[in-house]
Amino acid sequence: MRNVHRRTFILGGAAAASSIALPSAGATGVPATATSLPHDPFQLGVASGDPSADGFVLWTRLAPAPLNPDGRGGMPSSNVDVQWQVATDGNFANVVASGTTTATPASAHSVHVEVSGLDHSRFYHYRFRTDTTPSYLSPAGRTRTAPGPGVLANQLRFAVASCSHWEESWFHAFQQIADDSPDLVLFLGDYIYEFSTDKTTNVREYVDWGTDVVDTLAEYRLRYAQHRTDPALRAAHAAAPWAVVLDDHEVKNNWNNSTPSVSQRAQAFQAWYENMPVRAAQKPAGGTMTMHRRLGWGSLARFHMLDTRQYRSPQSVPDCNDGTRRMISANQEQWLLDGLATRPATWDFLGQQVFFADRDSDRDPNTCNGDDSWDGYRAQRSRISAGWVERGVPNPVVLTGDVHRHWAADLLANPYDPDSAHIGVELVATSVSSGGPYADPNNPNPRLPGHLPYVKYLHDRRGYIRCTATSEQVTAEFMQLSSTTEPDFAKVSVSPHARFVVPEGEKRLLRG
Ligand SMILES: [Fe+2]
């Protein structure tokens, strides 16, 4: 057991102020709030997200003492002006956008800058600097814009990841994602966990609150800060823009539209927003937020990011075939189907949280397994998949997290009829770290469920999916770590355990 004392994660030392001229404070009319900070406030790194054809959102959060128990990261209760720059080169010789924004205590001194007006389909570099004495310069991040509407990219390389419990394994998958330098990272939920485990295989510990679960704003904030003290996670954020949705553990295990309280949701959502590179459109208010959204990648791909938590009917609703029992809201369902009726791109990726393919173990269509998957919400699942069939969606690909194991499955018009039409595929990413060495220590080598012949792959290792989309095919490499307990990434190999190809127009998985 490798326990690392939490206090050792506080990184000291002041960053050297840059000699490169940055725009002066107040350039955007925001009144400067002069202050000083005791240490480098950029210990949580930088991030970018939700790229469009001409921009993205840039993120950082000031926290000179990330693990302070009050969740405020060692920041004073005053505003701090933060300057930002976007350049076409890593030396910031050619700055193409810059400005000043204000980090406020109400937002835990997080910064979200939405940049627009940039060139399509181009990589950029960005960084921040505090307007303090002394000033501090952030590490630089790399991000990019998407291709413009109608423009076909040669390829899109993206990672699909989820489920990063701090304690259960090292974040080597994040380091490999950083080393891959993808165009985009999809993170499909369980970025933090509200609970601590006491597994003997744990590699490190969450800050101990003396409670089993966290449920307050200060506690949630500290969770995110603790995660960002991990250099591999910071590297993955700095390497590429992310598109992020949350699942249950950013709030409470298996929550739905009836629990937890509005107050707890509001606090969890606030901390999530403060710590994620998402746009103001995703800013929570009154215990709700708009998480579902669409990202375009020219004429090659679209990502429909879903919210399967906030509006989910409780599993206590008895009949999963009941049409009113919903995984996503009625509005979101219509929004999804309306979007799928248009055809701007070859591939339609549904980025969502829980298992979509039929996994009902007894194959009884009248049995309602409330097991935190779409099996419990069959009527809506049928409406969605029949809806994309009716609309002639040529290449639907469902991308999923949550289950801490790699899975790949063909989607059938009738999962109970193996001869029915292929209507799409699902790629399920294992966890980055959750579950430890094995998701189920009692069953470390699960077999394919033989009675579900459309399930093509199942593997219990930590990792992520490395995808490459072209106009001809999507290639999915199911990456696995050789070790989850070895702390030194240099001693760990990360390699594809299986490779599948989805040829354009075929809606089925082939071994690649
Ligand atoms: Fe998880």
- State residue 18's pLDDT score: 33
- State residue 370's pLDDT score: 58
Residue pair 299/348 in contact by the 8 Å Cβ criterion: no
φ and ψ at residue 212, rounded to 5 degrees: -70, -35
Confidence band (pLDDT; 50, 70, 90) for 485? very high
- Mean pLDDT for 486-510 is 98
Ligand 1 centroid to residue 409 C-alpha, Å:
20
Ligand 1 centroid to residue 435 C-alpha, Å:
8
Residue 183, Ramachandran bin (φ over 0: left; ψ between -120 and 50: alpha; else beta): alpha
CATH class of the 6-144 domain in this structure: mainly beta
Ligand 1 centroid to residue 431 C-alpha, Å:
7
Ligand 1 centroid to residue 126 C-alpha, Å:
31
Domain residue limits, the chain: 6-144, 156-511
Ligand 1 centroid to residue 439 C-alpha, Å:
10
Confidence band (pLDDT; 50, 70, 90) for 414? confident
Identify any residues that bridge with 408 across adjacent strands, giving them in sequence order: 427, 457
pLDDT exceeding 90 applies to what percent of the chain? 81
Ligand 1 centroid to residue 164 C-alpha, Å:
7
Ligand 1 centroid to residue 403 C-alpha, Å:
6
- State residue 363's pLDDT score: 56
Identify any residues that bridge with 185 across adjacent strands, giving them in sequence order: 159, 242
Q: Which residues of 222-259 are buried (b: 16+ CB within 10 A; e: fewer)?
A: bbbbbbbbbebbbbbbbbbbbbbbbbbbbbbebbbeee
DSSP code for 105: G
pLDDT exceeding 70 applies to what percent of the chain? 90
Radius of gyration for the alpha carbons in the chain, expressed in angstroms and rounded? 22
Ligand 1 centroid to residue 160 C-alpha, Å:
14
Confidence band (pLDDT; 50, 70, 90) for 481? very high
pLDDT by residue (tens digit) across 152-193?
Answer: 999 999 999 999 999 999 999 999 999 999 999 999 999 999
Contacts of 198 by beta carbon, 8 Å cutoff, 6+ apart: none
Ligand 1 centroid to residue 432 C-alpha, Å:
9
Q: Could you give the residue ranges of the DSSP H alpha helices within 40-150? A: none
- State residue 27's pLDDT score: 43
pLDDT by residue (tens digit) across 269-310?
Answer: 999 999 999 999 999 998 999 999 999 999 999 999 999 999
Ligand 1 centroid to residue 211 C-alpha, Å:
20
Ligand 1 centroid to residue 285 C-alpha, Å:
25
Ligand 1 centroid to residue 463 C-alpha, Å:
13
Residue pair 22/85 in contact by the 8 Å Cβ criterion: yes
- State residue 51's pLDDT score: 98
- Closest-CA residue to 78 (of 45, 47, 35): 35
Ligand 1 centroid to residue 402 C-alpha, Å:
5
Confidence band (pLDDT; 50, 70, 90) for 33? confident
Ligand 1 centroid to residue 224 C-alpha, Å:
15
Ligand 1 centroid to residue 248 C-alpha, Å:
8
Residue pair 371/317 in contact by the 8 Å Cβ criterion: no
- State residue 6's pLDDT score: 28
pLDDT by residue (tens digit) across 93-143?
Answer: 999 999 999 999 999 999 999 999 999 999 999 999 999 999 999 999 999
Ligand 1 centroid to residue 331 C-alpha, Å:
26
Ligand 1 centroid to residue 215 C-alpha, Å:
17
Q: What is the 3-state secondary structure (H, E, C) of 442-511?
A: CCCCCCCCCCCCCEEEEECCCEEEEEEECCCEEEEEEEEECCCCCCCHHHCCEEEEEEEEEECCCCCCEE
Ligand 1 centroid to residue 249 C-alpha, Å:
7
Q: What is the 3-state secondary structure (H, E, C) of 53-79?
A: CCCEEEEEECCCCCCCCCCCCCCCCCC
Average pLDDT, the chain: 91
**415, pLDDT greater than 50:** yes
Ligand 1 centroid to residue 188 C-alpha, Å:
9
Contacts of 423 by beta carbon, 8 Å cutoff, 6+ apart: 385, 388, 389, 396, 411, 412, 413, 507
Q: Which residue has the tokens 């823009």?
A: 241
Ligand 1 centroid to residue 95 C-alpha, Å:
40
Sheet hosting strand 141-144, strand order edge to edge = 95-103, 80-87, 123-130, 141-144
Count of all residues that appear for the chain in the document = 512
Residue pair 161/464 in contact by the 8 Å Cβ criterion: yes
Ligand 1 centroid to residue 131 C-alpha, Å:
39
Ligand 1 centroid to residue 434 C-alpha, Å:
6
- State residue 318's pLDDT score: 66
Angle 467-472-477 from CA coordinates, rounded to 5° = 20
Same fold, 6-144 and 156-511: no
pLDDT by residue (tens digit) across 340-367?
Answer: 999 999 999 999 999 999 987 555 656 6
3-state SS, residue 430? coil
**17, pLDDT greater than 80:** no
Angle 224-229-233 from CA coordinates, rounded to 5° = 80
Ligand 1 centroid to residue 190 C-alpha, Å:
5
**23, pLDDT greater than 50:** no
CATH classification for the domain delimited by 156-511, as one of 3.60.21.70, 2.60.120.10, 3.40.50.300, 2.60.40.4070? 3.60.21.70
Confidence band (pLDDT; 50, 70, 90) for 20? very low
Identify any residues that bridge with 410 across adjacent strands, giving them in sequence order: 425
Ligand 1 centroid to residue 287 C-alpha, Å:
22
- State residue 319's pLDDT score: 76
Ligand 1 centroid to residue 255 C-alpha, Å:
13
- Mean pLDDT for 405-420 is 91
Ligand 1 centroid to residue 165 C-alpha, Å:
8
pLDDT by residue (tens digit) across 365-393?
Answer: 566 665 689 988 989 999 999 999 999 99
> Dihedral through CA 114, CA 116, CA 119, CA 123, nearest 10?
0
Angle 489-164-407 from CA coordinates, rounded to 5° = 95
330/350 Cα distance (integer angstroms): 17
414/472 Cα distance (integer angstroms): 27
Ligand 1 centroid to residue 388 C-alpha, Å:
28
- Long-range contacts formed by 253-260: CB under 8 A, 24+ apart: 253/194, 253/195, 253/213, 254/315, 254/372, 255/309, 256/309, 256/312, 256/313, 256/314, 256/315, 257/310, 257/311, 257/312, 257/313, 257/314, 258/314, 259/314, 260/215
Ligand 1 centroid to residue 433 C-alpha, Å:
9
Residue pair 37/43 in contact by the 8 Å Cβ criterion: no
Residue pair 86/124 in contact by the 8 Å Cβ criterion: yes
Ligand 1 centroid to residue 472 C-alpha, Å:
32
**Which residues sit with Cβ closer than 5 angstroms to ligand 1, an ion?**
163, 190, 434
Q: Which residue has the tokens 């199942």?
A: 458
Ligand 1 centroid to residue 55 C-alpha, Å:
31
Ligand 1 centroid to residue 27 C-alpha, Å:
43
What tokens does 424 get? 């799409």
Distances, alpha carbon 141 to alpha carbons 160, 236, 276, in Å = 20, 10, 15
Ligand 1 centroid to residue 345 C-alpha, Å:
31
Residue pair 283/275 in contact by the 8 Å Cβ criterion: no
- Closest-CA residue to 464 (of 171, 103, 168): 171
**26, pLDDT greater than 60:** no
Confidence band (pLDDT; 50, 70, 90) for 212? confident
